Chains A and B, each alone.
Chain A
Amino acid sequence: MADLQKLYDAILDGDAKTSAAVIHEALAEGADPVSLISGYMVPAMDEVGRRYEAEEYFVPELLLAARAMKAALEPLRPLLAASGAQPAGRVVIGTVKGDLHDIGKNLVASMLEGGGFEVMDLGADVSPEKFIDAVRASGANIVCLSALLTVTMPSMKKTIEALDAAGVRQQVKVFVGGAPVTEQYAREIGADGYSETASGAVALARRIGN
């Protein structure tokens, strides 16, 4: 029998080789993909998030854990698609127009994926039009906007206005984040939520994303 505690530990330790190996072993033994995700993988990522909040883990540990999570998810994806299992939500994420920074955005994307969300990552320097197209194409219910620079924060407002003008604002919740962004600013530009941290973004998406 596959030792599934090892799967949990491998994600916690950022050990992608072990997490993938345990998944393959478990699938060969007929384990249920959804149970593997909900019973071990999502709880492991939640614990990673908790340790990050407690400053026991830092961004590199977060990314290594996300990498281990991804390695474990890879063989499960076709099985999940075949079974018709739904993700926790569909997210379109990107760094707004004019801003090339993507570390924070990558972190949020990884943590959301680890939290069971389907994530369409548009990258950095994303125009409002690209966000609109992605929402329409993916049927997303969440849009995450990131900016690192004070000079590019106004692009968040422009993107929200563009979503509104394109008639897709009502079908999505818009979350914003990034070093200079504040709760107050999020409210001012009409965002639905703000998070200071990547794990906070997952909690936000679970709480008000759907």
Chain B
Amino acid sequence: MAREFFLRLAAERHRAIVGTDLVLNQHAAAEDVRRDGAGLGRVVAESAARWKTPLAIPLMDLRLEKADLLAAYGMDEEEADRFHFEAGPAEAVYPEGAFPERQRAQIEAISWVATNTDLLPMGMVIGPFSLMTKLLADPITPLALALSGVAAEDDAGVAAVERCCRLSEAAVLRSVKAQIEAGARAIIVCEPAANVVFLSPRQLAKRPGAFARFVLEPNLRVRSAMDAAGVDLVFHDCGHLDDSMVRAFGEVVHPAMLSLGSSRTLWQDARLVPRDVVLFGNLPTRMFYSDADMPRELVARQTRELAARMADTGHPHILGSECDVLHVDGASETIISKVDILLCEDRA
């Protein structure tokens, strides 16, 4: 099980980043590689070597399951990126058959890593709640109406949210199953939209069951599919969260590893999360492109502070990025130099 592996890495004070995009963009034919399973697998392995980790962390591309779902409605990948249902799909069409090109490459990359390397093959999917938010032009207002007690029968927007939730879960489960079959031993479920922007804590306090219904229960069903195959869950949410959300992710979803964004103070979150859940993160890597806002000295200082404070808590922790460390045109060298500080600063 990957949980023990993550716990061992944490005990060894391992550090890692979600940084395949940075390495991919060093390649001249980056766009072609995104559609080539073996090529992408090689880049994942190259990325693991570059960042000195035994984890084969895939390219973070949270558009894949949406493209797969919308292919069932006859849309191509480019169209799918931009498409939103105005009032929810009139008819539920579930994805089946062949995956779109980019997603097929992601799945084949897992298989390539599992076959050709000693790395831990990892998969990645968008979470069902976050996928639902990508299907609707405005998911927040109907969701807020649902949370205020408006029923699907009384509001077309609420009905659309509920229908899109079901479709999203089906698309995520299909992707998870394919990644398990390809050899993934842990899968990162990314739920960045499960946050206080989409879900008002004020409303959730009045209807505590709503968070379970829209976020936790779908993710538990996804986890069940992984559990059945002996595959561990890594849960990632870099959104703005309140304490009750972090606690629910740790205690209820209970992933092997929980990855949080830099809006959270990780050493304070350690008390909210069970001790067998490794915490991952969470330096503000999104700002690494900017020397004005995130100079190297600040990266070094924050790295030292995070490592020391987490050591004080005694909570298993892998120091790393807050999310995908994206390539930014013209800033690659700056970003990579700061990643190197994150990975090496104050190491014995």
Which A positions have Cβ atoms within 8 angstroms of B? 14, 56-61, 63-64, 67, 100, 103, 106, 124-125, 149-151, 153-154, 179-180, 182, 184-185
Tell which of B45-53, B88-96, B198-206, B265-273 binds the partner: B198-206
Q: Which of A56, A61, A150 has the most CB of B within 10 A?
A: A150
Q: Taking the nearest CB of chain B, how far is it from the CB of A84, in angstroms?
A: 32
B298 contacts the other chain (CB 8 A): no
Question: Interface residue tally of chain B, by bracket?
Answer: 20 to 34
Specify which of A61, A124, A154, A185 is in contact with B144 (CB 8 Å cutoff).
Answer: A61
Q: Which of B199, B201, B202 has the most CB of A within 10 A?
A: B202
Assuming the contacts A60-B203, A150-B328, A151-B326, asked whether A180 and B144 have C-beta atoms less than 8 A apart, the reply is no
Give chain A residues whose Cβ lies under 8 Å from the Cβ of B82.
100, 124-125
B141 contacts the other chain (CB 8 A): yes
Assuming the contacts A60-B198, A103-B197, A125-B82, asked whether A180 and B147 have C-beta atoms less than 8 A apart, the reply is no
Residue of B nearest to A15 (CB): B148
Specify which of B144, B201, B293 is in contact with A64 (CB 8 Å cutoff).
Answer: B144
**Number of A-B residue pairs with CB-CB distance less than 8 Å in the complex they form:** 71
Do most interface residues of chain B lie in helix, strand or loop, or is the interface mixed?
loop
Give chain B residues whose Cβ lies under 8 Å from the Cβ of A153.
328
A-B pairs, 8 with minimum CB distance:
A60-B144, A58-B200, A60-B200, A184-B292, A59-B197, A63-B141, A150-B328, A150-B289
Cβ–Cβ contact B293 & A59, under 8 A: no
Give chain A residues whose Cβ lies under 8 Å from the Cβ of B312.
none
- Can you name 19 extra interface pairs (CB under 8 A) apart from A58-B200, A60-B141, A151-B329? A14-B148, A59-B196, A61-B200, A63-B138, A63-B140, A63-B144, A64-B144, A64-B145, A64-B148, A100-B81, A106-B138, A125-B82, A150-B326, A150-B328, A153-B328, A179-B286, A180-B287, A182-B292, A182-B293
A30–B9 alpha-carbon span in the complex (Å): 73
